[in-house]
Structure 1
Amino acid sequence: MQTFISLCALCIFLVEVKALEWTLTQQDKELILSFEDLGISFFTQYHIILSSMSNETSETLLVAKLNSKPKIIKGPPDLRIDADIYDYNSWVSGSQTHKLILTQGNNWFIGIYITPGIKIWNLTINGINTAECFSSCTFHGNCMHSQCLCDDKWVGIDCSIFIQPIIFNKDYAVTLNHNEYMYFSIQSNYSSLCEFKKQPNNILEVYYKTIGAGISDIVGNRDKAGSCILGHANNFKECLISGKSIFSIYSKKSQSLTIKCPYIKISNSSNPKSSSILMSVLLSVASVIIIVWATVAIIKCIKYRRRKRTHHTFTKIIKNERLPVVTFKDLEKKDIDNCPVCLQKYLENSEVRVLECAHFYHKECIDEWFQNNPFCCICKRSYSSSDYIVNVLPVVEDNTRHLSGLNHIQRDNWVDHK
């Protein structure tokens, strides 16, 4: 590698300037410079400016790391460098000028990463003892602690990059210079099918990403971004750009073109993939809720119909006087002293209802039991079917006359005296 370095020192009002110039051959892909090797004195802050001496654009990334050298984590095209500060916007846009502001001492290492090819660059390092911003933020922002707080529509280390907000259905006439990027943004939540009309025999590159994605405020062909390319034969093309996005246009040749972005109601999420996943989850949850609700409703309906049918059957049996009511003292066979439902002891004058299966209960207890449980709680004999024919003794009007022969009647073969 042939490196030509020319140094000059100028001390005016505590400002030191060191200018370096070198040529990188095709094999040279990185250059690491340390403040110690360059003899840079201590200042409050340093302004680093790397300027191309040729008219050709190049994929150049300027970084800096404190106390140790920057290292390549991943090579091109997805270049990743272990460093503390990056001039990412200039790399994304293929700019011919790269800038950094460094503080916190003079033990900095500067890393310059460039695509292969013969390039001539000029490096300027300005040491300053006052907190300043580059170019006074080009009058498009405020300088706070050596950092530019850019006004709306302006970005970059010195607020020099303008981003044009898109108004739906408005025509924009654009003139792109040689190797120039221009930037636009869609602030609405709604997407647009933007229309691009270019000159014949030129290539137009369109790159886009959602606002807030990545580590830069602009987008270019070095980003992990969407792209829409208009080739030589395509003078017109529609590119779908989602809401809350920024997009750039780039041309290697100077040309004029028009842009129009009609409004469409789709994909108002900043991440369409995440939106699809969220929609699937919501649909799944809604489906589960509907299934559970329907299941509970069916179960309640079945229980209601069962209770209604049981009540109807029991009422019919009672109206037909098929389950007699007698007093406990009139029963000849008293093998149970307590009611199986309430577990209370029978009194001599307690009214009991005798079932077809010959088991008996307090009248109030068995009547309430049958409202929800259409069976004998002792032998489990069912009384739920409305078509079930029971043969029981009629209600006793003359206890002595009707119950004198109870011991002679078989439990499972009672005779209907109707």
Structure 2
Amino acid sequence: MALLPSTERVLLARTARAQRDGRCPSVVAGVVRGGGLAWSAGRGAVEDPADDVQYRLGSISKTVCAITVLRLRDEGLLDLSDTLEQHLPGTSVGDRTLTQLLSHTGGVTSESPGEWWERTPGAELPLSAADRVLPAGRRFHYSNLGFGLLGELVGRARGRTWDEVARDEVLHPLGMHRTTPRPSGRAAQGYAVHPWSDELLVEPEHHAGAMAAAGQLWATAADLGRLGAFLLGDGGGVLDPATIEEMTVPAGVDVSGPNWTSYGLGVQVQRVDGHTLVGHGGSMPGFLAGLWADREDGIAALALANVTSGLDGGLPAGLLADLRTHEPTVVAPWRPAPSPVPVALLGPWFWGPSPYVLRAVPGGLLHLGGLGRPGRSSRFRPGPDGTWIGLEGYFAGETLRVEGDSLNLATFVFTRTPYDPQAPVPGHVDPRGWHAP
């Protein structure tokens, strides 16, 4: 879906400033809308068409790695609560779960043993040397090694290298034929820029070996745009939309706050100016990359540069802000729909003296939230036997039950009037009722 010329000029102006101010030999940027790359442009020493020049993706490769792991899970070959030892025996972090590795909460050391893997040719991963630095599940700690181990797990499960699995099961099915483990065809040279002059230094290129899943892939802007469409929900048969949604759920953060940053399953998740973005940044010596998707507005933006440092990491978010301002998303029209529960159940409820309201919301869901004041809130999807399951916030995963004239949610009882003496309120209600002292 083409953009207006005036919008394209705004996006180009932002990209041009980022290339100049970041002293990048070249930058390619683009936005995704309507299922594909709607606009792209290159600045600096980049060949034309710029969207067909490969750049190294760095850690955006982790998103592709996570997709390969989730395919195994969806096939029933593993569970995300499994420990690494169950599928990749012999490591010193075998007690860490696959979820913890995917979300960087396993406390695994950040880098692989040996020399700086981003600048030296890779080899087999010495599994016994994998080390833990923090207790499992205690805090977020970014681990390249964790994804190297996940890539090894996928390779062993499929009997092929992770590169081959990613190519055959993710990249080619998504139409990403110009995404490869080594530069192929037209590809940018990676550079470092001297901090005190405008001189360049060529950065080395190599295969990271067993660490490939952490940062190996090269891609064009057109291909990266296809990955952006995937994050927006177009699974292309690679993953079910529900699994893509699962990837984007942040771990270990209360998303009810106005601003936050977290990590899901192979994707970074952040709240920027009232918008939730999912995607990933990437860096390898000589290259910087970023891909961010706004799933609510159905748009994504990307940036690729052949420079070790300097490019503003906020360029994709800025492009998204420009696109929202100059060509805001026209949302689907509201249409009448039947309530998923009897209408008599909707409306005000009280948790003790605090007013809440239960509403029917699009998609056959319910929403329970504070009425006229802040309060814990969540949407709920239908569960088994007439129950409802919380989707976010404090009540994520909790079961809502409608029991007569009360709602039971995680031991909390919501009543039609504050502390209704006729309802089964835990601790009972003072028989004197409400009264002045």
User: Shorter-chain TM-score category?
Assistant: under 0.3
Return the TM-score normalized by structure 1.
0.24
Q: Which has the higher contact order (CA 8 A, sep 6+)?
A: 2
Q: More helix per residue: 1 or 2?
A: 2
More strand per residue: 1 or 2?
1
Which protein is bigger by CA-based radius of gyration?
Answer: 1
After TM superposition, the score normalised by the length of structure 2 is 0.23
